[in-house]
Amino acid sequence: MTLPLPRTVRAVDTAQLLDLAQEAAMHSFSQRLPVDWLQEHLAAEGTHYLLPTLVQRLTHRPEVPLQWRCRQLLTLSTGEQVWGLLDILPDTFDKIPETLGTESRKDIVNRIEQAVTVREWMERTAADAGS
């Protein structure tokens, strides 16, 4: 049985996001940013947001548990927000408290849609450093 994908957004702090990235790495989930990259670039006191977007089941790797692929809106130490992907176990996601109201969730979804990707931000940053 597949758990239904929640239609919500969850907020986490930097320490929680690093724990989620560690868990994704431990399970060898395919969508995750390296923990060291996150430690280097995330705002230490930042708030980050997770939006489940699809159920991920690796039929070719049955040992890998079902996961929810989330779009994540990350707050960087520069103050910018970028988005990336993070695969999360459903039970882990469910343990994150629901703290956002409807209007906040709508605003965050809009911000994700307008934000540049982590890759685009990295390319722009590298180009700026080279000029």
Read off the pLDDT band of 18 (50, 70, 90): very high
Read off the pLDDT band of 2 (50, 70, 90): low
- Residue 102 covered by a domain: yes
Q: What is the mean pLDDT of the chain?
A: 91
As beta bridge partners, residue 56 has 67
DSSP tag of 65: P
Domain total in the chain: 1
Instruction: Give the tens place of pLDDT for each residue, 29-44.
Output: 888 899 999 999 999 9
Instruction: Give the tens place of pLDDT for each residue, 34-70.
Output: 999 999 999 999 999 999 999 887 777 777 788 999 9
Do 9 and 105 contact (CB within 8 A), yes or no?
A: yes
Do 4 and 92 contact (CB within 8 A), yes or no?
A: no
Q: What percent of the chain is modeled with pLDDT above 90?
A: 76
Which of these, 60, 59, 52, 65, lies nearest to 112 by C-alpha position?
52
Read off the pLDDT band of 87 (50, 70, 90): very high
Cα separation, 117 vs 65, in Å, equals: 26
- Residue 25 covered by a domain: yes
- Residue 98 covered by a domain: yes
- Residue 1 covered by a domain: no
- Residue 71 covered by a domain: yes
- Residue 2 covered by a domain: no
For residue 115, what are the domain limits?
A: 10-130
Which of these, 9, 25, 40, 7, lies nearest to 121 by C-alpha position?
40
**Whole-prediction pTM:** 0.91
Looking at 9-13, 65-69, 104-108, which range is the least confident one? 65-69
**pLDDT score recorded for residue 83:** 97
